[in-house]
Chain A
Amino acid sequence: MNPTPAILAENLVKRYPVVRGFRDLVRRPFERRTTTALDGLDLRVERGRAFCLLGPNGAGKTTLIKILATLVLPDGGRASVDGHDVERHPGPVKNAVGYAINDERSFYWRLTGRQNLEFFGALYGLRGPARDRRIDEVLRLTRLEAAADLRFNAYSTGMRQMLAFARALLADASILLVDEPTRSLDPQAADRIGSFLRGELVEGEGKTVFWATHDLAEAAEFAHEIAVIGRGRIRLQGTVASLTGEGRMSLRQVYEKAVGDPPVSR
């Protein structure tokens, strides 16, 4: 068993500059105001788990995922993915992680699903017959074989989300980062996504799925482990059973107790 955790964050800090108006810039040109998104966050995610990061809007979920995907640099502390530091070794991190971006605008709408995967597959370093085989595999896994040669603009919202998973799986990365995958999906489609992530990817393929959501029911149903983030820190972490005291409290009660005010401005 590999003792290195899939994801490790220690005292992670991220502050974003606040956009200021012209009047403010003239009055106080050298002042730098920031909003704290992550405020000394500590987190450890073991391998082969469906891990849900629960938190309200603005709690820091997307910031944490973007740091783990090397799109944002932290201001303090450190984070590593698959044992690689995200700031010092972004290359190996990118090879270890598949980030399922749920923005449908992140695809080329006039290309087919397969053509999109061929393009991104090449960027992941796949070539020739190996690339084509891998594309067939991820299309089968995401049940998009029949729609593979349709243009992306003909896909339904659920199919677009599945193609985002297919793209993130192209490189066969061991860790999948997923940010609110069921946002804007109907309940049945959301259930299919949840079953797919835990059933197919974690239990079937042995991957680690790190999954940000604010849907308590989704987290309770599909996650092996949950962390609640609030005001830029992990407030609670554990299995649903341990967090709810084997059912003595509801997950909603636990969540509301853990999450306080929105992120603070400094």
Chain B
Amino acid sequence: MSGGSRTTALLPGRLSAFLRRDFREALTYKFSFVSSFVGILLSSATFYFVAKLVPPGTPSLGPFGGDYFSFAVVGVAFSSLLGMFQEGLSAVVRSAQVSGTLEALLVTPASIPTVLFGSSLYSLILQVFRTLLHLGVALAFFGMILGRVNGPGVLCVGVLTVLCFLGVGVLSASFILVYKTGNPFGWILGTVSGLLGGVVFPVALLPPWIRWVSSLLPVTYALDGMRKSLLASVGFAEILPDIAALAVFNIILVPASLLAFRLAVRKAKKDGTLSHF
């Protein structure tokens, strides 16, 4: 068996080892799941009451089904998920640097991308469950209104969004590998997206002089496409502009992030700072 095919054959075993490791560690922190569930309940309740201030049929909510609570729940649930994809990889690199495990991981024959992705896999899967739980709680207890769900739209927007945010995540991880802290990608995208990406209010409410910034943020298209697919009963054609924009982000971000990561690993190995923190 060649080196490459052997590595590929070992990949599922290695990834499941990361999952098992993190699950076992999580089991030792018994209250983390409970606190996470309570957090989701409180967040849903907050937006449930805020939504009472927003009358149904508000024009800016029209393209998204018209109900503010449903609009906000999708925004908050999916922005948390995207935040995890965006920040998860750099967080695991930073955590392994600080905890001292990074060197032990990197001397094994597992490739650096395997270590990076494997280390964040549990958090990413957990966040997907939290997002589904968030939507489930909102549907079951707070009267969230789903439209006629556009399944292919959800899938297409979802896949493109995940790839795009993983790209940002790899860029962030590259920065952390070399500079250790102060990741600008996470800060810029995280902070700016929260305000200008349409997470808790429609982008259409922003003044025109700043609305153009929203058009530069992938989260704008991700949430727009996801809300229309889940809440507004629209067909595939109506979310094509969002899909096209996300595809463009992917064409730029995915190769750029892979190149940045390769250069970052080489620089950290050259400087002898791979495991420094």
| Minimum Cβ distance to chain B for residue A74 (Å) | 9
Residue of B with least CB distance to A37: B272
B99 adjacent to chain A (CB < 8 Å): yes
A66-B272, A69-B107 known; A106-B100 Cβ under 8 A: yes
Are B101 and A123 closer than 8 Å at their CB atoms? Answer: no
B20 adjacent to chain A (CB < 8 Å): yes
Are A108 and B25 closer than 8 Å at their CB atoms? Answer: yes
Residue of A with least CB distance to B106: A71
Residue of B with least CB distance to A73: B269
Near A by CB (< 8 A), chain B positions 88-135 give: 99-101, 103-110, 115
By a CB distance below 8 angstroms, the chain A residues around B270 are 72-73, 75
Pick the contact of A16 from B16, B271, B274 — CB < 8 Å? B271
A108-B21, A108-B25, A115-B24 known; A123-B272 Cβ under 8 A: no
Pick the contact of A14 from B10, B105, B109, B272 — CB < 8 Å? B272
Residue of A with least CB distance to B267: A73
Residue of A with least CB distance to B21: A119
Tell me the bound Cα distance from A118 to B18 in angstroms. 10
A25 adjacent to chain B (CB < 8 Å): no
Pick the contact of A123 from B109, B266, B274, B275 — CB < 8 Å? B109
Are B101 and A106 closer than 8 Å at their CB atoms? Answer: yes
Are A103 and B103 closer than 8 Å at their CB atoms? Answer: yes
Pick the contact of B107 from A37, A99, A122 — CB < 8 Å? A99
Are A63 and B272 closer than 8 Å at their CB atoms? Answer: yes
A110 adjacent to chain B (CB < 8 Å): yes
Residue of B with least CB distance to A16: B272
Are B100 and A110 closer than 8 Å at their CB atoms? Answer: no
Tell me the bound Cα distance from A107 to B101 in angstroms. 6
| Minimum Cβ distance to chain B for residue A32 (Å) | 11
Are A71 and B271 closer than 8 Å at their CB atoms? Answer: no
Among A94, A106, A167, find the residue whose CB has the most chain B CB atoms closer than 10 A.
A106
B17 adjacent to chain A (CB < 8 Å): yes
Are B275 and A167 closer than 8 Å at their CB atoms? Answer: no
By a CB distance below 8 angstroms, the chain B residues around A104 are 100
Are A123 and B100 closer than 8 Å at their CB atoms? Answer: no
B182 adjacent to chain A (CB < 8 Å): no
Q: How many residues of chain B get a CB closer than 8 Å to chain A's CBs?
A: 32
A71-B275, A72-B274, A108-B25 known; A91-B101 Cβ under 8 A: no
Chain A residues within 8 Å of B, Cβ to Cβ: 14, 16-17, 37, 63, 66, 69-73, 75, 91-92, 94-95, 97, 99, 101, 103-108, 110-111, 115, 118-125, 127, 167, 171
Instruction: Tell me the total A-B contact number using a CB cutoff of 8 A.
Output: 91
B13 adjacent to chain A (CB < 8 Å): yes
Are A71 and B274 closer than 8 Å at their CB atoms? Answer: yes
By a CB distance below 8 angstroms, the chain B residues around A106 are 100-101, 103-104
Tell me the bound Cα distance from A37 to B115 in angstroms. 29
B32 adjacent to chain A (CB < 8 Å): no
Tell me the bound Cα distance from A115 to B10 in angstroms. 19
Are A73 and B266 closer than 8 Å at their CB atoms? Answer: yes
Are A110 and B109 closer than 8 Å at their CB atoms? Answer: no
By a CB distance below 8 angstroms, the chain B residues around A14 are 272
Are B104 and A125 closer than 8 Å at their CB atoms? Answer: no
| Minimum Cβ distance to chain B for residue A136 (Å) | 18
Tell me the bound Cα distance from A104 to B103 in angstroms. 12
Pairs across A and B, CB under 8 Å, 21 listed: A14-B272, A66-B272, A71-B107, A73-B269, A92-B3, A94-B108, A94-B109, A95-B109, A101-B103, A101-B104, A105-B101, A106-B103, A120-B104, A120-B108, A121-B17, A123-B17, A123-B108, A124-B108, A124-B109, A125-B10, A127-B10
Residue of A with least CB distance to B270: A73
Besides A71-B107, A94-B107, A110-B28, 10 more A-B contacts (Cβ < 8 Å) are: A14-B272, A99-B107, A103-B100, A105-B99, A106-B104, A108-B21, A110-B25, A115-B24, A124-B108, A125-B10
Tell me the bound Cα distance from A105 to B275 in angstroms. 12
Are B272 and A107 closer than 8 Å at their CB atoms? Answer: no
By a CB distance below 8 angstroms, the chain B residues around A17 are 271
Residue of A with least CB distance to B18: A119
Pick the contact of B16 from A121, A122, A171 — CB < 8 Å? A122
Are B25 and A111 closer than 8 Å at their CB atoms? Answer: yes
Residue of B with least CB distance to A17: B271
